[in-house]
Chain A
Amino acid sequence: MASASDRPASRHRDGGRAQWHSPAMTRRIRRRYLGDRLFRAAGLAALTAAGLFLLLLVGNIAWQARTGFFQTELRLEVAIPADVAAGETPGSPGFGAAVDAYPWRSVALSALRERFGADSRGDLASLRGLISRGGAAVALRAAVRDDPTLIGRRATLWLPASEPADQWAKDRDAATALSERQVGWLESFAAAGDLKTHFNGRFFATGNSRDPALAGIGGAVIGSFLTLLVTLAVAFPIGVFTAIYLEEFAPQNRITDFIEVNINNLAAVPSIVFGLLGLQVFLNTFGMPRSAPVVGGLTLALMTLPTIIISGRAALKAVPNSIRDAALGLGASRTQVVLHHVLPAAMPGMLTGTIIGMAQALGETAPLLMIGMVAFIVEVPASFTEAATVLPVQIYMWAELPEAAYRAKTAAGISVLLIFLISMNALAVYLRNRFETK
């Protein structure tokens, strides 16, 4: 059996004194340094991996989205028939209605026929395949409404190309659904400088459409905005007051504990359950309109409340008690302590929690499906009670469609959603800094 002096521990110690320069101690120090370096390297590796994933995700979406923000148009000389809105004075409601009702698609088709002189039935179908179904009509309608003097005259106008033509223009080497004849026509457009792919401003202004040239994210953006406004207006005050009451005023008893436990449970409830609740309460019981931002907002407010309450309580807890004591010791009432000292100190944390909750709500689809916000909505909503859709739902609906154009629009929609999220987080950081320097 080894004597006590052979045991490793005793090598560092001699009569109770540490041997700071023994080889064993030196080895131990070297091992410690190695351990430190490994730990730091592991942290850095994890950070790099997370950064790469994020970059990959954002890069991939941006790459796919790049064509979604652009739209190809063709320049055509169009003869505007003289019988458009015959007998109506320009500017009157009847004039507008007549212009809207006119079969513009055939006007665009005649212009194409004129340009290429095609006559057979097959040719006509091929020509029709070059320009966007609804897009051409929308462009012509807008041109005539803007300038009624065009009626009965010839005008050179840019008309949106059809989805296959648009895809061909964006990537001429990719497989195309167009016939050789159609490609030939498009090449002649391009050669004449009558084909251009430009930034699609309309994408941000319109609602959904069956025609990819017309489908836009605008309706969903407004829908999301209105919905989140309702969510914020409902969840923020209720959440903040609940947090303040629970943290600063509630007596420490069973009921308080019970409420606390249940709020924590609510935060973990799957979001679709809140959708069911919203369906039952707001639609079935209160008879609120389906698909409306007000219902979506209320449903999301239910979902966001626990997040706001929990983060609000954490922020209030983080305010040092010495501040409360100082104010109480000066003769401030409980309410004054909260309003003058605790709340301002906790506000940055509360706002951060609220914005994180809102960002979650912005990306939420499941509960909104339950209350019918998955409808196909063309109109941009103008009020809280009109049918609307929201960004993630719009993205989800586009993702299901087969056309390449919708794939690009899906990615473009995701980019818009990401930009919203980043702006919200930037706002959170800004607000936090502003309140903290005070």
Chain B
Amino acid sequence: MTAETTKQPTPAAPAPAPSDLSTAADRPDVKMSARDVHVHYGDTHAIKGVTMNVNAREVTALIGPSGCGKSTFLRCFNRMNDTVASARVDGEILLDTQDIHAPEIDVVQLRARVGMVFQKPNPFPKSIYDNVAYGPRIHGLVRNRADLDEVVETSLQKAGLWDEVSDRLEVPGTSLSGGQQQRLCIARAIAVNPEVILMDEPCSALDPIATARIEELIEDLRQRYAIVVVTHSMQQAARISQRTAFFHLGHLVEYGETGALFTSPQQEKTKDYITGRYG
């Protein structure tokens, strides 16, 4: 991994272009890239010109004080903001080499390629099996029941839930514990074999043991997917991510290798935040 650090201008002093403007278009290790992304909710300017890359086979953590726009930015990557009537997204976001806002991009297919796990576990009120099978079914990824069974089993295994539920796949997903539900949601997301997984505070509703399991899982999943995680816990960001982006009031203040960002932040704001002076 290269140790370059993309510094963003502080909100007070916009101007110098980021040192690294290479995008997914010319870098094979870059999976997604955002270029000068702005998001407005009606009159609220929630994301103010963010430019950053998401690398393949890495965990990218988004940190920052509450309300700074982490969730909003995360939802840009699979165009979930399209479902918010008041939201408007400007700028360019590339998946591999393609702009995801291009007219020929089918947003439904995009969301299959860029999966999402939400803050609150939200299994469908259907059986565990149907939860995991739903994605493959609607996208026609399997030809017969045996294939589907296999996808369900491997997805649950990858999500570390198989051993706990293999004998009761027909019970409702909503009857599982919070941590199990979150792993079910992860299994559901990886069942469609996405290229990128977006996670919005996936552990905020979980106890330390369940959190540890999810963190292990994220580490495993990193081998195959590009992962973007929003987290409020800087310890978690340090534990699980390779790169960290610090947001403040809609600006990307600092983005770089996790170790470097936490040990020697380049920006005063970042230093204040990670030393717990505010936020």
- Residues of chain A whose beta carbon lies under 8 Å from any beta carbon of chain B: 251-252, 320, 322-333, 336, 340-341, 345, 438
Per-residue interface assignment for chain B, residues 106 to 138, with 1 indicating a CB less than 8 Å from any chain A CB and 0 otherwise:
001111110110101011111000000011001
Closest beta carbon of chain B to A343's beta carbon, Å: 13
Number of A-B contacts (CB under 8 A): 63
Contact B192 A331 (CB under 8 A): yes
In the complex, whether B139 has a CB less than 8 A from a CB of chain A is yes
Contact B111 A329 (CB under 8 A): yes
Contact B189 A331 (CB under 8 A): no
In residues 80-117 of chain B, which contact A (Cβ within 8 Å)?
Answer: 80, 83, 85, 108-113, 115-116
7 more CB-based (< 8 A) A-B contacts, given A323-B124, A330-B112: A322-B122, A323-B122, A325-B122, A328-B83, A332-B108, A345-B125, A438-B126
Per-residue interface assignment for chain B, residues 153 to 195, with 1 indicating a CB less than 8 Å from any chain A CB and 0 otherwise:
0000000000000000000000000000000010011001000
Contact B138 A326 (CB under 8 A): no
Which residues on A sit within 8 Å (CB–CB) of B80? 325, 328-329
Which residues on A sit within 8 Å (CB–CB) of B78? 329
How far, in whole Å, are A341 and B138 apart by their CA atoms in the complex?
13
- Contacts A332-B138, A340-B134 given; does A327 touch B124 at CB 8 Å: yes
Contact B192 A326 (CB under 8 A): no
Closest beta carbon of chain B to A333's beta carbon, Å: 5
Closest B residue, CB atoms, query A319: B125
Which residues on A sit within 8 Å (CB–CB) of B123? 326
Contact A328 B125 (CB under 8 A): no
Closest B residue, CB atoms, query A345: B125
Closest A residue, CB atoms, query B116: A329
Closest A residue, CB atoms, query B113: A331
Closest A residue, CB atoms, query B110: A331
Contact B138 A331 (CB under 8 A): yes
How far, in whole Å, are A331 and B108 apart by their CA atoms in the complex?
5
Contact B135 A330 (CB under 8 A): yes
How far, in whole Å, are A320 and B111 apart by their CA atoms in the complex?
20
Closest beta carbon of chain A to B88's beta carbon, Å: 14
Contact A336 B138 (CB under 8 A): yes
Task: List the 3 closest pairs (A to B, CB-CB), nearest first.
Answer: A331-B112, A329-B116, A322-B122
Which residues on A sit within 8 Å (CB–CB) of B125? 323, 345, 438
25 A-B residue pairs with CB within 8 Å: A322-B118, A323-B122, A323-B124, A325-B122, A326-B118, A326-B122, A326-B185, A327-B124, A328-B83, A328-B111, A329-B80, A329-B115, A329-B118, A330-B111, A330-B115, A330-B134, A331-B111, A331-B192, A332-B108, A332-B134, A332-B138, A333-B108, A340-B138, A341-B124, A438-B126
Closest beta carbon of chain A to B30's beta carbon, Å: 23
Closest beta carbon of chain B to A326's beta carbon, Å: 4
How far, in whole Å, are A251 and B86 apart by their CA atoms in the complex?
11
How far, in whole Å, are A323 and B109 apart by their CA atoms in the complex?
19
How far, in whole Å, are A330 and B194 apart by their CA atoms in the complex?
9
Query: Is the contact region of chain A dominated by helix, strand, or loop, or is it mixed?
Result: helix
In residues 231-253 of chain B, which contact A (Cβ within 8 Å)?
Answer: none
| Candidates B112, B118, B139, B192; contact of A325 at CB < 8 Å | B118
Closest beta carbon of chain B to A267's beta carbon, Å: 26
Which residues on A sit within 8 Å (CB–CB) of B189? 329-330
Closest beta carbon of chain A to B226's beta carbon, Å: 16
Closest beta carbon of chain A to B183's beta carbon, Å: 14
| Of A252, A325, A326, A341, most B-chain CB atoms within 10 Å | A326
Closest beta carbon of chain A to B163's beta carbon, Å: 24
Closest B residue, CB atoms, query A332: B138
Closest B residue, CB atoms, query A331: B112
- Contacts A322-B120, A323-B122 given; does A331 touch B109 at CB 8 Å: yes
Per-residue interface assignment for chain B, residues 208 to 239, with 1 indicating a CB less than 8 Å from any chain A CB and 0 otherwise:
00000000000000000000000000000000
Which residues on A sit within 8 Å (CB–CB) of B116? 325, 329
How far, in whole Å, are A331 and B136 apart by their CA atoms in the complex?
10
Closest A residue, CB atoms, query B188: A330
How far, in whole Å, are A345 and B126 apart by their CA atoms in the complex?
10
How far, in whole Å, are A345 and B125 apart by their CA atoms in the complex?
8
Which residues on B sit within 8 Å (CB–CB) of A332? 108, 134, 138
In residues 49-98 of chain B, which contact A (Cβ within 8 Å)?
Answer: 78, 80, 83, 85
Closest beta carbon of chain B to A325's beta carbon, Å: 6
| Candidates A322, A331, A341; contact of B135 at CB < 8 Å | A331
How far, in whole Å, are A341 and B122 apart by their CA atoms in the complex?
12
| Of A320, A322, A345, A438, most B-chain CB atoms within 10 Å | A322
How far, in whole Å, are A320 and B135 apart by their CA atoms in the complex?
20
Which residues on B sit within 8 Å (CB–CB) of A251? 85
Which residues on A sit within 8 Å (CB–CB) of B185? 326
Closest beta carbon of chain B to A349's beta carbon, Å: 14
Which residues on B sit within 8 Å (CB–CB) of A438? 125-126
Which residues on B sit within 8 Å (CB–CB) of A323? 122, 124-125
How far, in whole Å, are A332 and B135 apart by their CA atoms in the complex?
8
| Of B113, B134, B139, most A-chain CB atoms within 10 Å | B134
Contact B111 A326 (CB under 8 A): no
How far, in whole Å, are A35 and B83 apart by their CA atoms in the complex?
48
How far, in whole Å, are A438 and B188 apart by their CA atoms in the complex?
19
Which residues on B sit within 8 Å (CB–CB) of A345? 125
How far, in whole Å, are A239 and B156 apart by their CA atoms in the complex?
40
| Of A320, A325, A345, most B-chain CB atoms within 10 Å | A325
How far, in whole Å, are A345 and B174 apart by their CA atoms in the complex?
13
| Of A328, A329, A332, A438, most B-chain CB atoms within 10 Å | A329
How far, in whole Å, are A320 and B120 apart by their CA atoms in the complex?
12
Closest beta carbon of chain A to B244's beta carbon, Å: 24
Closest beta carbon of chain B to A242's beta carbon, Å: 20
Closest A residue, CB atoms, query B119: A322
Closest beta carbon of chain A to B72's beta carbon, Å: 14
Which residues on A sit within 8 Å (CB–CB) of B113? 331
How far, in whole Å, are A329 and B109 apart by their CA atoms in the complex?
10
Closest B residue, CB atoms, query A252: B85
Contact B83 A330 (CB under 8 A): no
Closest beta carbon of chain A to B86's beta carbon, Å: 9
Closest beta carbon of chain B to A341's beta carbon, Å: 6
Contact A325 B85 (CB under 8 A): no
Which residues on B sit within 8 Å (CB–CB) of A252? 85
Closest A residue, CB atoms, query B123: A326
